Structure 1
């Protein structure tokens, strides 16, 4: 279910990113930003349902939510890219891109905290979970190794 929703979302983003820039010039960034943020609650609900299995027969909801999330993500990323390049002067563009990457990576932090919270009291002991933990620790060691 989660794979189908994720696939539908990514395919929709790929298709609509080609088309959304021309419509963005007509509708403007404010509407695009508003519509773009409306799809993320659906995406989070789909992820939460796949993790906690609140409703096991929600596969149609997941695929539909993935499609809507793909449309909204294409709108959001188009508006974000145009605003990031339109407002700053040439001397400020690097600073604006830096701010964008900080905010963008904070999304990964929030997602990781959510996964940690969902798995903190988990009693499942699987070999896959242990392998992922070892992989994660190896990447941390490589990252913090001096001179790497």
Structure 2
């Protein structure tokens, strides 16, 4: 669930709040610089783990399929890191932030189709607003036969 960098992000947020009050830089500069600085690490992590996983499980052969898999994995990890960054801006305590982040990811997994098909999920709350918010739902779309 890629929430291991949350404690350092909470510390970065404390520094950012002090520097924001002194008008050193704004929110946009902080978000862009944090994303760019995390990018090489996330690329390295997703490429290594995606390569190991690809060859262990024998996914589709071919370089194009491998790169597509690694890029999808990178996009998923980036979304998780972005969500944890948003949680870090709201919750200053890193233990409580990790608990809230893990809870949000757990709810996203419940409504995305891991355990039940999307048509079997109750529609009023869990299907329409929650499953469409979940980024897992879009990765696990099941094509139905008509």
| TM-score with structure 2 setting the length | 0.30
| TM-score with structure 1 setting the length | 0.29
Higher helix share: 1
Structure showing greater radius of gyration is 1
